[in-house]
Chain A
Amino acid sequence: MSVARGSTVRSVTIAVDGHDVTVPEGSTILAACREAGIPTPTLCFLETLTPVNTCRVCVVELEGSRALVPACSRRAEAGMVVSTDSERVRHSRKMVLEFLGSSVDLSLADEEIRQWMHEYRADPARYGSRAETVAQPPKVQDELYIRDYEKCILCYKCVQACGVEAQNTFAIAVAGRGFDARISTEFDVTLPDSACVYCGNCIGVCPTGALVFKTEFDMRREGTWDESRQSVTRTICSYCGVGCNLDLHVQDNRIVKVTSPLDHDVTSGHLCIKGRFGWRHVQAGLDEPEAEEG
């Protein structure tokens, strides 16, 4: 992240679960946990974005603090005493996972989330079948994106990626309030009518599959999406001279999705419409014989 290289950076030592952990000054408690090899669940956190600490699944107990604190954004200060596995921490993490699991469709969420559900014994079913959810039909408004907000946990990442943290397009924002809070364009106009430039960076950061490429969405509907049959090939985008790395996700010799590695110096995982969607011509030559076959 933003930690300067070299030996001039001072370090701080904090106690995490009884062990001293030393991290560079300015690091978060989460960084200290990771340094100490302590697994810490995160949902709204992404290395390439400023922490918004809204999901609260990473909360830890900090001695002297009345409430729990978010590990992802709280900076480590010398002498802090942190517990990551106390009853209070486990309880809050379980409840956050249950609250999300009982209100949001997590079926396409990162596999990790299901592991944490198991780890913290989260039981979303105990809120009953009448528990209110954010269920709604997906927004299918163009040939590139699907916005399926019943899978949205409001992690704010897409808003950040659309805004100052990557694209500076500001096509979407959080609207409404409370349980009615949602990601929206102005007055919920369709994406083609909004400021969207179809960079796809919102999709790149979505942890729950609420934002997906239409190719993936359609293949999932048809039952043909199969990640076990996919390979990933890294290449460099040829549209301009910036040098963005592209990861081509290929299934059955067809490109089904394009991403960029989070740790790539040039992109930090972000692309533009050309790199993200300008691959159809590659397919054109391949598709024709197939069409003939069919």
Chain B
Amino acid sequence: MAAAPSSAEREAVDAFLGSLPAPAASGPPPRHLLLPALHALVDAIGWISEGGLNHVCERFGVPPAEAYGVASFYALLPTGPRAPVVIHACDDIACRMAGADRVVAVLEEVLGPAGGTDAVTWLPSPCVGACDRAPAAFIQRTNAENATVDGLAPGLPVERLLADLAGREGTDLAIPLRSGSVRIPQIEDGSTELRLLRRIGRLDPARLDDYQAAGGYEALRRAFDLGPEGVVREVSDSRLLGRGGAAFPAGRKWAAVATAPARPHYLVCNADESEPGTFKDRALMEEDPFALVEAMTIAGYATGCETSYLYVRGEYPTATARLEHAIAECRRQGLLGRDVMGAGFDFDIEIRRGGGAYICGEETALFNSIEGFRGEPRNKPPFPTDRGLFGKPTLVNNVETLINVLDIVLEGGPAFAGVGTEASTGTKLFCVSGSVARPGLYEVVFGVTLGELLELAGGVSGGRPRAILLGGAAGTFVPPDRLDIPLTFEGTRAAGASLGSGVVMVFGEAADMNDIVLRIAAFFRHESCGQCVPCRVGTVRQEEALRRFIGGEDEAGLLDEIGRAMGDASICGLGHTAALAARSAISLGLIGNGDRR
């Protein structure tokens, strides 16, 4: 009755489960390996069939309906036939401005309609985190090895296709699979003021000895000297605020987890960078992976975690491969595993690949995703520091936040707090894209104004900008006469905006703002998990009302009502912020009135 797996499907799942270290007890594998097992199936076969899913369910003892519910939640885990090679062509904000429509047109012409089942197909995609090289694409392919190597192996149909695409006029298809793909103009300029980015481009991200020669693992040594409480004190003294978007004081989280009575404690690094316009964490992970491993080790030491999870965005195969390599190297050198550096501290990192779901960047959705469930956010309280991953006290920090800890430990919290402003300490990474001369990743000391950052990025291309989007799709538009806004947490807040994940996207004179704002609305509709009514239906009603508003109908009032309900009654931050960009665009007069403005 139940569909049987093919031998290839059976083999893919069994090989994955067989590759794991032997479990302590016999019985089915733990549920938190469900998502990796589904990934293994898709990596090998390209999609999840009934038979394939049944085999996974049989091995895990998970009901098929539940596993189907999990798989169908994730964009990168198709539950219907899919071509073995899929080009996920980004048509999100920055890529739209850079001609994503032409890329899509060519893909459609060459490959046919989206989502085909032949050798190669394409799909429109939300932001793939390569806005500095827009228009960009991410390539998903069966055979895990190919999917995670830099560049592309020759001789496959997709290479010929891409070569063909590259040769066409008006189609500059960047492939964010190649090494060194994030543009960091300050490094090209030879800037010596970089802190978070100082190692990038100067060492081989595959070599631990390079990292150590550049001062790597001095921070962990220093942390062992300070002791766990000492490290937490330095982080508290640094007044570091989280860089993932919510700007929560890191020291408070660390102290809460460190002192939580329940055991075990877990550390989770949120590397599910998916906010449209954001590519900072990808750069750090691809180019400086050992730094993240070291920073996580320090965080685990300080807060009493022996097990940690590094949840990397599914669209970041290069970052994943390099981190896997770095973790393996560190294990080999005694920097991870039992008795790290002989300090009597056990610590390890498990990588988890996301499945293509923006919502999994929300910390509690991320926990559910790691645990092998649908990535639906949980209601808070309880907060993660109290009951997080597997219901235990959990420290969850963003990649950039953790990288800051290295300098905090090395130079001391108070010294770190001396950089930047009183309320925004340290430096900040900004992802500058859109109509600027030199898009890319920038690191500046807190306090620099929006105008100064844009100058650093070579200035706005094509005259005066129409608007700047701060904070990504979940952020707000600011008008061009507010270039004096200091890019600090307090400065943007005072201006009615937020730094979010550090997105600074510039819209030039030619930008079609109606199209941009509609794309943002479509993004939220697509990425809503669907759990709560205000967000599941509200994001749909918002998109519909925006279309009417842009068509000239008087829907500003309704949009405001929808936005208020989403902001007030949704479960999580996605719903809370889903109307911000549209509402700011309306209040600034950027969209509407039936004409293209």
Which residues of A come within 8 Å of B, CB atoms?
A: 53-57, 59, 67-68, 70, 73-74, 88, 91-92, 95-96, 99-100, 102-103, 126-128, 130-132, 153-154, 170-181, 184-187, 189, 193-195
Contacts and interface: CB of A to CB of B under 8 A. Distances in A.
The 6 closest A-B pairs by CB, nearest first: A181-B530, A170-B63, A95-B565, A99-B537, A173-B69, A186-B64
A67 B525 contact: no
Contact of A132 (B1, B540, B564): B540
B519 to A, nearest CB: 16
A27 to B, nearest CB: 15
Nearest to B544: A131
B590 interface: no
A131 B531 CA distance: 20
Given A68-B569, A176-B73, A131 B541 contact: yes
B562 interface: yes
A179 B567 CA distance: 18
Given A68-B569, A177-B529, A100 B68 contact: no
A67 B379 contact: no
A193 B73 contact: no
Interface string B60-80: 000111111100110000010
B576 interface: yes
Interface in B257-313: none
A53 B536 CA distance: 14
A181 B528 CA distance: 10
Contacts of B558: 126
Given A53-B571, A56-B569, A95-B538, 16 more contacts: A54-B531, A59-B569, A67-B569, A91-B561, A99-B536, A99-B565, A103-B540, A127-B541, A130-B544, A154-B533, A170-B63, A178-B527, A179-B540, A184-B65, A184-B69, A194-B65
Contact of A88 (B530, B539, B541, B568): B568
10 contacts: A54-B531, A56-B569, A59-B568, A92-B565, A95-B565, A99-B538, A132-B540, A178-B528, A178-B536, A179-B530
A132 B562 CA distance: 15
Contact of B537 (A70, A103, A180, A187): A103
A177 B73 contact: yes
B53 interface: yes
B534 interface: yes
B133 interface: no
B69 A56 contact: no
A178 B379 contact: no
A92 B568 contact: yes
A173 B79 CA distance: 15
B530 A186 contact: no
A185 B317 CA distance: 32
A147 to B, nearest CB: 13
Contacts of B69: 173-175, 184
A174 to B, nearest CB: 5
A91 to B, nearest CB: 6
A193 to B, nearest CB: 7
A54 B571 contact: yes
A293 to B, nearest CB: 42
Interface of B: 1, 50, 53, 63-69, 72-73, 79, 357, 374, 379, 525-534, 536-541, 544-545, 548, 558, 561-562, 564-565, 567-571, 576
A99 B72 contact: no
Nearest to B548: A128
Contacts of A194: 65
B368 to A, nearest CB: 12
Given A56-B569, A68-B569, A132-B544, A186 B357 contact: no
Contacts of B548: 128
A186 B50 contact: yes
A161 to B, nearest CB: 13
A92 B458 CA distance: 45
Contacts of B545: 127
Given A67-B568, A67-B570, A186-B50, A177 B357 contact: yes
B80 to A, nearest CB: 9
B54 to A, nearest CB: 8
B541 A153 contact: no
Contacts of A73: 379
Nearest to A59: B569
A194 B63 CA distance: 10
A96 B561 contact: no
A55 B533 contact: yes
Contact of B568 (A68, A131, A180, A187): A68
A88 B566 CA distance: 11
B583 to A, nearest CB: 15
A45 to B, nearest CB: 13
Contacts of B65: 170-173, 175, 184-186, 194-195
A130 B540 CA distance: 12
Nearest to B537: A99
A187 B528 contact: no
A195 B63 contact: yes
Nearest to B69: A173
A130 B525 CA distance: 17
A179 B568 contact: no
Given A96-B569, A170-B66, A181 B531 contact: yes
A187 B79 contact: yes
Given A103-B537, A132-B540, A184 B565 contact: no
B570 A56 contact: yes
B502 to A, nearest CB: 22
A174 B374 contact: yes
B1 to A, nearest CB: 7
A28 to B, nearest CB: 12
Contacts of B538: 95, 99
Given A131-B541, A178-B526, A91 B533 contact: no
A68 B374 CA distance: 24
Contacts of B79: 187
Contact of B544 (A88, A127, A175): A127
A194 B50 CA distance: 12
Best-surrounded residue of A55, A127, A172, A186 (most CB of chain B within 10 A) = A186
A262 B79 CA distance: 38
B528 A95 contact: no
B117 to A, nearest CB: 17
A260 to B, nearest CB: 24
B539 to A, nearest CB: 7
B318 to A, nearest CB: 26
Contacts of A179: 525, 528, 530, 536-537, 539-540
A96 B73 contact: no
A99 B533 contact: yes
A91 B568 contact: yes
Which of B1, B64, B532, B537 has most A Cβ within 10 Å? B537
Nearest to B524: A178
A95 B53 contact: no
Contacts of B67: 186
Contact of A102 (B528, B541, B571): B541
Contacts of A95: 534, 538, 561-562, 564-565, 569
A186 B466 CA distance: 48
Contacts of B527: 177-178
A187 B530 contact: no
A74 B381 CA distance: 8
B359 to A, nearest CB: 8
Contacts of B72: 175-177, 184
Given A95-B565, A177-B72, A178-B526, A153 B533 contact: yes
A252 B357 CA distance: 53
A180 B530 CA distance: 7
